[in-house]
Amino acid sequence: MKIGIIQQANTTDRNENVSRLQSKIRDLASKGADLIVLQELHNGLYFCQTEETGIFDQAETIPGPSTHSFGQLAKELGVVILLSLFEKRAPGLYHNTAVVIEKDGTIAGKYRKMHIPDDPAYYEKFYFAPGDMGFNPIDTSVGKLGVLVCWDQWYPEAARMMALAGAEVLIYPTAIGYESSDTEDEKNRQREAWITVQRGHAVANGIPVIAARRIPISGSGRRNDSSCRN
């Protein structure tokens, strides 16, 4: 299986962000990608750095606009796409949810982020309720995907339960690898810890691990990265 990974620096223009994502998906599909993984909450900026009730207006239902538009693209290109969305499950109930779109454009399955951080500049508990779907791989045409999200990466039990349930690969849509306001020494320490824990999941469970995080560059310095791996 060839896997495409998109890591994109976003702006406040959500429509433009989505347009660039879809362009990158087309590019990766043309390079032979079978599965394309997007970063955490890929349609906009990472908004959990403040607590603002107006941001809840960004949430959407599943199925909804994003699963529809990316589903059409998946069907057109014949690829599996992993989305990461701000889900409005019901009035007052929201989740950080990963959704797998099958090659025919249908929803193969979803996973609601289980471990929710609450630290300065990462006020996710203000926005997201913990997931309630357990740790179950999602069956797709490219294999059984053990989908988790960002902060779940620090919990070996989550990876292990996915592997024991038959996951053939672990996937982590992610927002960060370290805090941008830290000193350079602390950034390096956090980066190494982030890389090490991902390697640990792969080694302990004997399966590949995919992690796609944001590129912390915006404005005139914005850059977009996408790549394919076998």
User: Could you give the residue numbers annotated as active site?
Assistant: 40, 113, 150
Q: What sections of 31-176 are H helices per DSSP?
A: 65-77, 124-127, 156-164
Q: How many CB atoms lie within 10 A of CB 103?
A: 18
Is residue 156 within 8 Å of residue 135, measured between CB atoms? no
Taking only the tens place, the pLDDT of each residue in 96-147 is 999 999 999 999 999 999 999 998 888 999 999 999 999 999 999 999 999 9
How many domains are contained in the chain?
1
β-bridge pairing 93-101 and 80-90: antiparallel
Distance from C-alpha of 191 to C-alpha of 186, rounded to nearest angstrom:
8
Taking only the tens place, the pLDDT of each residue in 45-61 is 999 999 999 999 999 99
Distance from C-alpha of 133 to C-alpha of 110, rounded to nearest angstrom:
9
Residue with tokens 């249908």: 106
Mean pLDDT of 82-106: 98
Q: What is the CATH number of the domain that holds 160?
A: 3.60.110.10
* Confidence label for 222 from pLDDT (cuts 50, 70 and 90): very low
Enclosing domain of residue 180: 3-229
Q: How many Cα atoms sit within 13 Å of 176 on the Cβ side? A: 17
Q: Is the pLDDT reported for residue 216 higher than 90?
A: no
* Confidence label for 219 from pLDDT (cuts 50, 70 and 90): very low
